[in-house]
Amino acid sequence: MSNTKQSTFMKLYKTDVSKYTEKKGQFNYLSWANAWALLKKACPDARYGVTKSEDGSPFFKTECGYFVDVWVEADGVSLSQIHPVLDNRNQPIEQPNAFQINTSIQRALAKTIALHGLGLYIFAGEDLPEPNALTPKEADDLYLLAKPLGVKFVNDLKYKVSNMEMNAHNYEACVEKIQNMIKEKGK
């Protein structure tokens, strides 16, 4: 049952990256190298690239300044991030050099990886997500799946979810167990 499997986004979103974050000025950030390593660990087939301008440059010059465009594909989903070329105070650079453009590409890469879920909470300014908690959709899918087993079973399941006895670590095993119980009940 594919609608009960935890999405790649939620698996990445629930990943605690706090030991890899660094503080730069007033901002927390996840380095591109750590973000890429963690993404490849979770999604070995992930890949990325830099969109080039018509002249083959890895940046775009506009009336507003210079920009880079990075895309990341993970588990068949491709997302991109357009990022301005900024200085260390997050101000646009009028005439960036190669190092500054490369730095912006790396920041865009980290942000694009975050769009897939990994470290996204950093950019939202949120506390760490509860890495083991089920999403509301996962919990609802579980309750719907268990409905044929009766109201008492579903209520017991809700109690286990709310107390974290049933969580992301044992979610897929629980789905399989419920499916087997339904099959046995049908015999």
State phi, psi for 93 to the nearest 5 degrees. Answer: -100, 125
Note whether residue 98 is domain-resident.
yes
Of the residues 70, 102, 123, which one is the last residue of a structural domain?
123
Whether pLDDT at 59 is above 90:
yes
Both 26 and 110 in one domain: the answer is yes
- Give the range of the structural domain holding residue 168, as residue numbers without chain letter: 136-186
Residue carrying structure tokens 């588990």: 75
Q: What's the CA gap between 55 and 40, in Å, rounded? A: 31
Percent of the chain with pLDDT over 90: 45
Other beta carbons within 10 angstroms of residue 36's beta carbon come to 19
Both 76 and 164 in one domain: the answer is no
Query: Which pLDDT belongs to residue 32?
Result: 93
Range 30-48 average pLDDT: 95
Note whether residue 4 is domain-resident.
no
Note whether residue 84 is domain-resident.
yes
Both 101 and 66 in one domain: the answer is yes
Query: Which pLDDT belongs to residue 130?
Result: 56
Q: What's the CA gap between 81 and 115, in Å, rounded? A: 8
Note whether residue 131 is domain-resident.
no
Both 118 and 153 in one domain: the answer is no
Higher pLDDT, 164 or 173: 173
Both 43 and 76 in one domain: the answer is yes
CB-based contact 148:64 (threshold 8 Å): no
CB-based contact 108:69 (threshold 8 Å): yes
Both 48 and 118 in one domain: the answer is yes
End-to-end CA distance of the chain: 20
Q: Could you read off the pLDDT of 78-116 as tens digits, one per residue?
A: 999 999 998 877 788 999 999 999 999 999 999 999 999
Query: Which pLDDT belongs to residue 26?
Result: 62
Both 95 and 148 in one domain: the answer is no
71's enclosing H/E stretch is strand 65-74
State phi, psi for 157 to the nearest 5 degrees. Answer: -65, -40
Of the residues 74, 94, 123, which one is the last residue of a structural domain?
123
Both 106 and 163 in one domain: the answer is no
Range 57-83 average pLDDT: 95
Whether pLDDT at 62 is above 90:
yes
Both 15 and 78 in one domain: the answer is yes
Confidence of residue 4 (pLDDT cuts 50, 70, 90): very low
Confidence of residue 131 (pLDDT cuts 50, 70, 90): low
Query: Which pLDDT belongs to residue 43?
Result: 95
Both 109 and 181 in one domain: the answer is no
Number of structural domains, the chain?
A: 2
